[in-house]
Structure 1
Amino acid sequence: MGDRCPAAHPDDLTPCVGPVVVTVLDAVNAGADGCEHHGARLLASLHGGRVYPLPDAPSGAAIRTFKAAATLRPFCWVDAPCEPSQLSDIADRARDGH
């Protein structure tokens, strides 16, 4: 499969899309750098997560990652139904129209 960014979950078999351009942090500031694709997938799976562009990221990388995460269910690489109580903060806001 080749090298993938640190934000790619080991069970998520999708390839990276583009270079590593964002840092995704959880509620206690643990984080991983990643491509926009895996950054969004990670962010959608976190409660209280945040995304920041790396210094050399193209303009808009963090907001694109944030917006993409809002369209994903948490742990989207797992083939299982998702209950509303399992949605991330981002998914909750998207569902509620915020």
Structure 2
Amino acid sequence: MNEAFTSTTARCPVAHPDDHTPCTGAPAVTILDATNAGANGCEHHAARLLASLNGGRVYALPDAPKGAALRVFTAAADINPFPWVTGVPRTRPEQLSLNERARQAR
């Protein structure tokens, strides 16, 4: 799997500069935005980015572990957009995770 990525390598391309959480492994998925611009990333940062995009999509890389894209998609639904922004209230619907919005709609 992506031999060029090691623990001493800089963080994956989808990690936001303000997101100081570590990568969880080698890039496993591609995240595309609504205009089809994309980048490859680890499952952790890919889920955080996907949660922050409107119209974002996730695709597994050819050498990704089985189920990587599904894990990212599922995790993103429980993550608030821009999770690296802390110390602010999240009360408006667009500030909540997809699953939280769905729970509130019931």
The bucket for the TM-score relative to the shorter chain is 0.7 to 0.9
**What is the deviation of 1:54?**
0.3
Provide the alpha-carbon RMSD of the alignment.
1.7
1:82 aligns with 2:81: no
Quick one: percent identity of the two aligned structures? 60
After superposition, residues 1-98 of structure 1 pair within 5 angstroms as 3-79=10-86, 80-87=88-95, 91-92=97-98, 94-95=99-100, 96=102
- Higher deviation after alignment, 75-84 or 43-52: 75-84
Shift of 1:83: 3.2
* Offset, 1:82: 2.2
Q: How far is 1:56 from its partner?
A: 0.5
Q: Structure 1 stretches of 5 or more lacking a match?
A: none
Task: Give 5+ residue unaligned stretches, structure 2.
Answer: 1-7
C-alpha separation in 2, matches of 1:12 and 1:77 = 5
Shift in Å, 1:18: 1.1
- TM-score w.r.t. structure 2 length? 0.81
The structure whose Rg is larger is 2
- Structure 1 runs (4+) greater than 3 angstroms displaced: none
TM-score by length of 1: 0.87
